[in-house]
Structure 1
Amino acid sequence: MRGELSISRIGVRGLEVVPYRGWTDDAPGTEIQNGGVAASPYGPRGGTGPGGVGNYQVTAHRLSSTRAFLRLPEVRRGDRVFVRTEEAMYVYRITGTRETSFRSERSLRAQRAPVPGQPGKEATRAMITLSTCATPEDHAEGNFWADEFDNPEHRIDKIGVLVAVR
């Protein structure tokens, strides 16, 4: 389900989130992000939709296209994330930060798990993972590795839980 994402702390307002069948930062997801909007994978290796029990995954570029998630690292525990759909407004509260490595299948499984960071655990509530590149951080450490889509090794993931539906 399409939605519009807003995060007051970092000035994101009405960012279009496009759902697609796939997994985080694959070719279709990268193409969506290249169009200046956010991508939300679903299906066997993806997540759920807005408000759904499990992991609603949203990825957007930090340094290219519209730089939608340029300031995502500034998001803090307790910050609110709003996702508006035709049906409702979903309000998530950020509970933590994770780092994902594209070079580690274990790390990717943890990012994409129904309970973020806990592969194999069954989801019992609605959660969100906001993800973007850690290119400046990787480059500062001398890590210039990139995959075929030009994704750096690491991703910054902000994890949250659903706290309200309006």
Structure 2
Amino acid sequence: MIAGLVGCSDVAPTGAPSPTQTRSARPTAAPTTPAESPAPTPKPTPTPKPTVSGVVGLAIPAIGVRGVRVVAYSGTADDRAGTRIQDRGPAASPRGPAGGVGPGQIGNFIVTGHRTSHEKPFARLPEVVNGDHILLTVGGTVYDYVVNRTMTISFRKPAEKAQQNAAVPGRPGVKPTHAMITISTCATPEDHAAGNFWSDDLGNPEHRINKIGTLVATRKA
């Protein structure tokens, strides 16, 4: 992402005949086998870096969402880098060990976006119900996920944030076997209606609404 140096010996040969020995009586020395060169140390296999480039188009037909841009970045959901992306209007998709995977991959494809500001891509996300479809278009491929669960988490509770970022949504530490998706947005109207105006230093309210789905089909766009 070492080759050993083989040295030579300059030691004079042993077993030379005494002055009284004749050539025919000279003992024959056993042939020596040269020492084998040490095997080169294998180079470590580099760990692939997560893909953090590319734009995905997202649609949720049941609530009229069409062509929402999803921009990938290296990080975790709703961190500072992701918030900057959301504040420009697109949705954000964290990748890497603390984030999620890409479209169609085994694990949790996480998408976060605003609900009440900055183009409001997920203004109607709470209306999504089980059985609704989430479509991701990447190049010439459409990934079709079907919603099967709603999960609400608190940003005041690290254990619940870990559930949102888990490879299997809601189950940290469990190895994924399917391609899944988590669409996440804030519960600001509900929080404010309950008198909860708390927010973190990035302006995230306490509660997040997450719609979780499983990949059911892949087709050409």
Smaller-chain TM-score bracket? over 0.9
State TM-score, norm by structure 2.
Answer: 0.74
SS of aligned partner of 2:197: coil
Q: Please identify runs of 4+ aligned residues in structure 1 that moved more than 4 A.
A: none
Tell me the CA shift for residue 44 of structure 1.
1.2
Structure 1 unaligned blocks of 5 or more: none
Tell me the CA shift for residue 164 of structure 1.
0.3
Tell me the CA shift for residue 2 of structure 1.
2.1
One-letter amino acid matched to 1:132: T
Alignment of 1:14-29 (within 5 A): 14-29=67-82
Structure 2 unaligned blocks of 5 or more: 1-53
Q: Which residue does the alignment assign to 1:36?
A: 89
Q: Which residue does the alignment assign to 2:177?
A: 124
More strand by share: 1
More helix by share: 1
One-letter amino acid matched to 2:60: I
Tell me the CA shift for residue 66 of structure 1.
0.1
Q: 2:144 aligns with which of 81, 91, 94?
A: 91
Please tell me whether residue 138 in structure 1 is matched to residue 164 in structure 2.
no
Q: How many residues align?
A: 166
Q: Which residue does the alignment assign to 2:125?
A: 72
Q: Which residue does the alignment assign to 1:51?
A: 104
State TM-score, norm by structure 1.
Answer: 0.98
By relative contact order (CA 8 Å, sep 6+), the higher-ranking structure is 1
Higher Rg = 2
One-letter amino acid matched to 2:203: D
Determine what percentage of the aligned residue pairs are the same residue. Answer: 54
Q: Deviations over 1:102-148 (max 9, x none)?
A: 11110011110000001111000000000000001111111111011
